């Protein structure tokens, strides 16, 4: 059986096509991303702009077409932060359903945290925290194996905070760090967790920059270690660069160059707040989690 997961995020639309093999394991057949910036101009009173709606709907329709050409008819569409928060988020969900015939399931922040954890943790034998810094929100989920202890979702994201704070000044960066610290206080109880995995475009892009990747290689990203000193240094370097200089860096897609500073500040702030020496970076995340959740349900019913 083939299955397609489409994630309509604040910064990008992503697609994963997978096939279930013997033993209920999933094999990835295709994985793609289109940076449509649905959260363009995002603020606390977010409204999805018409131009962003058109770009994103076209990307969703394209991914559905690709899925059907690969004989994947079990297609599921999920929405995250911008779809939760935008005043016209439901209108856009309805628009996608009308266009494609497929309903959009809008995940809560805590559900997003859970599925990112399931996708990245790999049933770890050690207590693990998975952090997903996205375009509109940041999720943290702590658990042991398939058992989840706690889940958090914060309105912090590389698109949201590039709009809310001036990332071209030291003052704006300092204000974002203070904002991060104030939100992380609600998660003080997880400060003792030692094993952390980072997922999402900011984390994978920072790893890709440090590895000087000209072409993104998910196998090299998977399991890559981000040291605190490297994150801090890179965050400072990125903030001092012009947009053109960031675009010229190996490892960073041009469409992420304008939001990578805010994303790196969030990751740097999290590492500082929780006194983390390193992150493990995972290319597997929410998309794989939504597939693995199907396996977990099967095992629970055995």
What is the bridge-based pairing of β-strands 225-227 and 147-154? Answer: unpaired
Span 100-115, pLDDT tens digits: 999 999 999 999 999 9
**Domains within the chain, CATH numbers bracketed:** 2-106 (3.30.420.40), 110-281 (3.30.420.150)
Residue scoring higher pLDDT (296 or 137): 137
Span 121-141, pLDDT tens digits: 977 889 999 999 999 999 999
Structure tokens at 245: 């200089």
Which pLDDT score is estimated for 44? 60
Q: What is the 3-state secondary structure (H, E, C) of the chain?
A: CEEEEEEECCCCEEEEEEEECHHHCEEEEEEEEECCCCCCCCCCCCCCCHHHHHHHHHHHHHHHHHHHHCCCCEEEEEECHHHHHCCCHHHHHHHHHHHHCCCEEECCHHHHHHHHHHHHHCCCCCCEEEEEECCCCEEEEEEECCEEEEEEEECCCHHHHHHHCCCCCHHHHHHHHHHHHHHHHHHHHHCCCCEEEEECHHHHHHHHHHCCCCCCCHHHHCCCEEEHHHHHHHHHHHHHCCHHHHHHCCCCCHHHCCCHHHHHHHHHHHHHHCCCCEEEECCCCHHHHHHHHHHHHHHHCC
- For the cut 50, the answer to whether the pLDDT of residue 301 exceeds it is no
Span 197-223, pLDDT tens digits: 999 999 999 999 999 999 999 999 999
């Amino acid at each position: 059986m083939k299955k397609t997961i489409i994630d309509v995020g604040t910064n990008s639309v992503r697609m994963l096509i997978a096939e279930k093999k013997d033993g209920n394991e999933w094999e990835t057949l295709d994985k793609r991303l289109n940076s449509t910036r649905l959260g363009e101009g995002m603020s606390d009173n977010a409204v999805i702009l018409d131009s962003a709606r058109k770009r994103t709907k076209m990307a969703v329709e394209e991914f559905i077409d690709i899925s059907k050409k690969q004989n994947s008819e079990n297609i599921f569409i999920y929405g995250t932060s911008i779809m939760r928060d935008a005043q016209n988020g439901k209108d856009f969900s309805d628009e996608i359903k009308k266009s494609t015939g497929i309903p959009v399931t809008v995940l809560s922040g805590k559900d997003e945290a859970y599925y990112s954890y399931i996708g990245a943790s790999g049933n770890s034998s050690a207590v693990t925290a998975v952090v997903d810094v996205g375009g509109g929100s940041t999720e943290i989920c702590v658990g042991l194996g398939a058992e989840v202890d706690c889940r958090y979702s914060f309105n912090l994201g590389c698109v949201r905070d590039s709009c809310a704070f001036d990332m071209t000044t030291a003052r704006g960066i300092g204000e974002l760090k203070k904002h991060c610290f104030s939100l992380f206080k609600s998660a003080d109880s997880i400060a003792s967790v030692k094993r952390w995995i980072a997922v999402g475009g900011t984390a994978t892009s920072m790893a890709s920059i440090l590895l000087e990747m000209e072409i993104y290689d998910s196998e090299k990203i998977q399991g890559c270690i981000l040291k605190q000193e490297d994150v801090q240094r890179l965050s400072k370097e990125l903030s001092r660069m012009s947009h053109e200089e960031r675009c010229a860096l190996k490892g960073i897609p041009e469409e992420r160059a304008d939001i990578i500073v805010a994303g790196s500040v969030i990751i740097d702030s999290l590492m500082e707040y929780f006194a983390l020496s390193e992150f493990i970076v995972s290319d597997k995340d929410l998309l794989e989690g939504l597939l693995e959740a199907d396996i977990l349900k099967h095992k629970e019913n055995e």
